Structure 1
Amino acid sequence: MKSMWIKNNWIYGVLFLSVISAIFALLTSNFIFKSGTAGIGILIVLILNFKKEKPSKDTWLIIGAFLFSIAGDWFMSNMNGDSTMFSKGIALFFLAHLGYLLFATLNGQIKWRFTSILLALFLLFYFLVLFPSINDNILMLATLIYLLISCFSLGASVGIKGDYIVKWTYVFGIFLILFSDTIISLTEFLGYNRLDFLILPTYYLAHISITFSLIRKQG
């Protein structure tokens, strides 16, 4: 019985490595560990895909999203106040959100009422709070576009159909990314840093939650 349980659930042991990587990332700020949650997520999805006779094509979107997240995180980690690096990071995270959005729409449909309310709230936040503090036009536009794709990504995740746990762990992951990004915007544009301690833990937990969702989805 024990060996059967291990055989069916060993992949969760691999997922636990993401937790360890996140802890070391918080303790050391080493980029290898910082990219660990997304990197291990990619490894897990690849393992699950190649174990199946007919791999799920939609999961390649998550692999792409995680890859863009790693690249975006590199730019953010090395920007040193350079707005151009920050904009490039936003562009890569935009592509990551596009992957999350397409995955969700392939497994359901956008919840338009929820998305409309979310968009209204974040557009108010952008124009009333962030916009007056952004002096770079390119950065201003990049931030707005990224805000829009983030809201659509979360709205699409809420519309995922099928297994309850698959849906809500995925929703939780996308929500955590949006939450983390909101804190980053407060820090970068307003200099408000009291919530900075939440940025990385929520970001890493987002990858872990999304990966867990795909493990569950693959059975």
Structure 2
Amino acid sequence: MPHSEKKLKNLFRIWFILLGILFTTAAILPKLEAAPYTLQEIKLASLSQAEQIRLQFDGAYPDEPIVNFEPGALSVRFVGTKMADELGKELTPPKESLIRNVLVSQPAMAEFVQVDILFNSSRMALGNPEVWREGNRLFLDLQFLNLVDLQTNTLTPSAILTDEVGKRVRQADPFPSTFTRAKPELPPEEIQGLDKIPVQADTKMELVSAIPDQDWSS
């Protein structure tokens, strides 16, 4: 009998643990199913040298989006999010927009939505987008640099230097040498003495001093 009672107590404990796990799972499952947010709408607003992407969710999206830069594009991933059935997968901006196209996708069996922003070939985004929120809406502000204006209106330092040299050569205004050696000023009495020396003697002295010392005994 004592052995049978001990066995019954162990079975009762096992059933109690199993029931606890079952009730806990039943309480968590509804929350897990409601966890993903739904991306309902995407809009694009064109500003001066900037673009603003507005995303509408079914609730206030609390997480920070994952931003990844690629050549000529920017991808933004929203984890724990799914696409609404009526949400389009492609957004074509107006012609004057700095963005060429916006693609929205959600891989199969994945709980994230990825927004791919394709830039115009003559534009380049500067840094990460500024992210801010207002209720159920999330805003991405992008600043752009016009590469065409940069290439046509801005010269590199080497190009500027080459252009300046060409101008001075055409104007017969050569650059002053940066290797000129400064000569010390002589006292007035030495200057007066030099004025009395004939020009030929001065030339002869300079010529002799310019010849290196040699052994004339051989």
Please tell me whether Structure 1 or Structure 2 has the larger radius of gyration of its CA atoms.
2
Q: As a proportion of its length, which structure holds more strand?
A: 2
Structure scoring higher RCO (CA < 8 A, sep ≥ 6) equals: 1
Q: TM-score category by the smaller chain? A: under 0.3
Q: TM-score, normalised by structure 2?
A: 0.21
Q: TM-score, normalised by structure 1?
A: 0.21
